[in-house]
Chains A and B, each alone.
Chain A
Amino acid sequence: MRIGLAKRETRSQKISALVPIISFLVSLILGGIVLAFSKANPLNTYIYMFRGAFGSWMAFSETLVKAIPLMLTGLGVSLAFRIRFWNIGAEGQYVWGAIGTAWIMLYWQFLPVQMLLPLGLLVGMAAGAIWAGIPAVMKAVWKVDETLTTLMLNYVAILFAEYLYYGPWRDPKGYGFPGSEPFPREAWLPRFLGRAHWGLFIAIVIAIILFFFLARTKWGLEIQMIGKNPNAARSLGVNIKWGIILVLLLSGALSGLAGGIEVAAIAHRLQKGIISGYGYTAIIIAWMSQLNPIAALFVAILMAGLLVGGDQLQMMIGLPAAMGLVIQGLLLFPLLAGTIFTEYKIRIKKT
């Protein structure tokens, strides 16, 4: 008897929807095994994590704080992935968003203070867009592979930010903690629940617009075509070069917005903690949400929950905060393995 795979006759929508859910459960089980080996009770640990992330309004607000930048970077990365452009540079685009916003906040204070926030966010978006645009142009014009270029630029961005807040932008009254001067109070992005801020509504609105854009406009159709068969798209008149560049500018802008919002609402300065790994988690979000903007919102909250819950673990039962990252890392494996079942089914052959 042999077990093999046979191609399905059509794509299974049912399985498509189930796979992310099942893989989340599988990753919890796998994480549980890791915990068991670490001499921690899996069930207890997960309960602590859940409480730490969703157990109270305070906890939930912290989860939202992390979810908001994840939503935006997740949306940005999903967009790039749609044209099969492996944008691993969301981290760097996010950092540049923070830098751009900080620049306005710190050095354009001659403007009326109400203008600082919107202008800052716009400049942050532009900075993120340009940072994504560089590898995009290299791919579109010279066909340079984007995986490495976007990634390498992450390190450059992070190092540049470091240079800024250790160097020319360093707050002389820094109290030892490296960072820039704080932004003007009136220019901060307002919060509404604990530290959770209005960035949430920005993210939700953007997700809805993006969903509509992709599903119901002709540019959305072209984006699908470029991603699924660029050769056919080209012969049908779609301009691939511009498609890549414009999509990536938008993708970078979203990650840049995430960075800008983060400094405008949470840190209120450009500082050491800006490097957060959100750009990489965004990849998990993109893949798990199957590039669907609305789903990305929920997956982002889930990821944020894992991170916040993980932080709690350190305080409550002394487990490394990295546990949250471990579970996140485990998430994609069952998802990757499970996706094949949308197009193939198991066939048992008698020999």
Chain B
Amino acid sequence: MNREKVKSPVLRMVGITKRFPGVVANDSINLELYPGEVLALLGENGAGKSTLMNVLAGLYDPDEGEIFIRGKRVEIRNPQDSMHHGIGMIHQEFALVGNMTVAENMILGLRDIPFVPSMSEVKEQIKKLSKRYNLKVNSDTLIQNMSVGEQQRVEILKLVYRGASILILDEPTAVLTPEEARDLNRIIMTMLDEGKSAIFITHKMDEVIQFSHRVQILRKGKSEAVCNTKDVTQRDLAKLMVGREVLFRMEKKAFHPGSVRVKLEHVNGEDETGRQFLRDISFEIRAGEILGIAGVAGNGQQKLAGVLTGLFSVSSGRIEIDGKDMTNKQPIQMIRTGISYIPADRGRMGIVGDMSVAHNLAMKKYREEPLSKKGILHPKRILSFAKQMISFFNISTPEPSTYVKFLSGGNIQKTILAREIDACRGILVAVYPSRGLDVGATEAIRKQILEQREKGSAIILVSEELDELMAVADTIAVMSEGEIMGVVDAQTTDIEELGMMMAGVRRRSS
């Protein structure tokens, strides 16, 4: 990766400021991008990276600042303008219409195509470009029938189809196995050889080191530093990102597991369309043990959590909680056995946004004393209960009566955590608990989970961050396509081994 600094940058953002109610997302940021390089935009969640790139992509209007492309000042008012200047962005949630084909998605939104477009020409072009960059994309497939990795390649194809020379990728490897991430890197490199440039947004320091030439760190809306990647270490990056020394290893007490609390035997699950989302799943979790579930999102992890909480039913197999058969029971029954659940999709599954923080905190215990008696609620007791939890878990909210949807992401997660941990009677199911949270909130959550482990809870932790699993979990099971590829000891495993299993290679029992 030896690129000399070419004379002038292909992109310059100068003094970009963007404000939202209550927060300055971007504060006078300068950014430069040179041809043929990959710039990593690093920062915690909430640092302003996505906002800055959305300004570039024409989705937000900056309150102040200017943008220069190849030395010329440009106005970017909408995605059309952005595309016109050769900028293309791939968001974390792909801009693809599921029930349309690749070809249809390719031309969606293009202005300069004929009123009745010639689909055969489009498909020709797709074939050409797909070959050039080794994207392996078929024009007639429906997006909803493609894997996430394939969909990402369609997004890339879309950008080059529209003549993009500056590519922006938002957390591209979040949905890929380590192998797929390397494939992606190769594709990008091919494009760089043609003089294109790329910016990729990330919060993972190891990716910065692996994939970029230069890195720019944002913190709390300001640009903190710009470095050549080969001149920095992960530790340096972490410090710049957070502003203080960051603990890389959590304090974890020794592993003294108790009796088996959760047991799954040959569990299979099928959805309504007949697709199998779980295949022959068997494992045990003992008291005081954290079982980590690794794997690229979408391989059955959430369904597995759902099966333990009564949200999904299994087609065969057995689920045992404390020795009792709890296969295919209703959520309320699982709750009564003491299972707590921290769902991945907080807003949709974890809270009722249009209700108060106090009510949300009470949602696990409202059915019984002291919060209610014979069906009638006790508002005063609910309020004092809420106040206790708010202060103990450090939830930042204007009032207990504020609707919970107005809280920040981190505080919403704390609310869910508070409710679930308070009600936890020894079994905790946590799915992507630190997703989208900044380092401070993430630390707090991991600490809570470890504390529960000390108290003797059996915990299942689904996470997409391998380093989180290796630091927090005792055992790690890797899922791919609904199956467990292997179960390893967290202390002795490494990224290579986990990566292989994530990609579908079964672990050979030694």
Contact = CB atoms under 8 A, between A and B. Distances in A.
Interface of A: 6-7, 9-11, 216-221, 224-225, 228-229, 231-239
A11 B366 contact: no
8 contacts: A216-B377, A218-B376, A224-B352, A229-B354, A231-B349, A232-B350, A232-B351, A235-B331
A239 B332 contact: yes
Contacts of B350: 232, 235
A231 B311 CA distance: 10
A220 B21 CA distance: 34
Interface in B141-156: none
Contacts of A228: 352-355
Contacts of A237: 330-332, 335
Nearest to B330: A239
A143 to B, nearest CB: 11
B355 A9 contact: no
B21 A229 contact: no
A234 B403 contact: no
A63 B76 CA distance: 61
A237 B335 CA distance: 7
Given A218-B367, A219-B375, A234-B311, A9 B22 contact: yes
B372 interface: yes
A7 B21 contact: yes
B348 A229 contact: yes
Given A235-B309, A236-B331, A10 B355 contact: no
Interface of B: 21-22, 309, 311, 330-332, 335, 341, 343, 348-355, 359, 363-364, 366-367, 372, 375-377, 379, 398, 402-403, 406
A116 to B, nearest CB: 33
A224 B355 contact: yes
A236 B361 CA distance: 11
Given A9-B406, A232-B350, A236-B335, 20 more contacts: A10-B402, A216-B377, A217-B375, A217-B376, A218-B377, A221-B377, A228-B353, A229-B351, A229-B353, A232-B348, A235-B309, A235-B331, A235-B341, A235-B343, A235-B349, A237-B330, A237-B332, A237-B335, A239-B330, A239-B332
Contacts of A225: 352, 355, 363
B309 A10 contact: no
Contacts of B354: 228-229
B401 to A, nearest CB: 9
B376 A216 contact: yes
Contact of B403 (A6, A11, A220): A11
A11 to B, nearest CB: 6
B379 A216 contact: yes
A10 B331 contact: no
Given A6-B21, A235-B331, A218 B375 contact: yes
A236 B343 contact: no
Given A10-B402, A234-B311, A235-B331, A221 B366 contact: yes
Contacts of B341: 235
A221 B362 CA distance: 10
A229 B331 contact: no
Nearest to A237: B332
B330 A221 contact: no
B335 A233 contact: no
Given A217-B377, A218-B366, A239-B332, A10 B406 contact: yes
A225 B335 CA distance: 17
B353 to A, nearest CB: 7
A218 B355 CA distance: 14
Contacts of A239: 330, 332
Nearest to B367: A218
Nearest to B332: A237
A233 B359 CA distance: 12
Most chain B CB inside 10 Å of its own CB: which residue of A7, A221, A239: A221
Nearest to A230: B352
Given A216-B379, A217-B375, A236 B348 contact: no
Contacts of A229: 348, 351-354
Nearest to B345: A231
B312 to A, nearest CB: 11
Contacts of B402: 10
A220 B379 CA distance: 13
A234 B377 CA distance: 20
A7 B335 CA distance: 36
A256 to B, nearest CB: 25
Contacts of B376: 216-218
B24 to A, nearest CB: 15
Nearest to A234: B331
Contacts of B343: 235
B398 A235 contact: no
A336 to B, nearest CB: 18
Cβ-closest 7 pairs across A and B: A237-B332, A229-B352, A228-B354, A237-B335, A237-B331, A228-B352, A236-B363
A51 B348 CA distance: 51
Nearest to A350: B63
A234 B341 CA distance: 12
A11 B366 CA distance: 25
A350 to B, nearest CB: 10
Given A219-B375, A229-B348, A235 B311 contact: yes
Nearest to B419: A236
Contacts of A234: 311, 331
A42 B403 CA distance: 43
B431 to A, nearest CB: 11
A229 B347 CA distance: 9
Nearest to B333: A237
A221 B348 CA distance: 18
Nearest to B378: A216
Contacts of B366: 218, 221
B335 A218 contact: no
Contacts of B309: 235
A218 B362 CA distance: 11
A336 B377 CA distance: 32
Contact of A10 (B311, B349, B363, B403): B403
B352 A233 contact: yes
Nearest to B371: A218
B14 to A, nearest CB: 19
Contacts of A11: 403
Contacts of A218: 366-367, 372, 375-377
Contacts of B398: 10
A278 B254 CA distance: 70
A221 B406 CA distance: 20
Nearest to A219: B375
A217 B378 CA distance: 9
Contacts of B379: 216
B233 to A, nearest CB: 40
A232 B353 CA distance: 10
A231 B348 contact: yes
A235 B366 CA distance: 15
Contacts of B367: 218
A235 B333 CA distance: 11
Given A217-B375, A217-B376, A217-B377, A236 B364 contact: yes
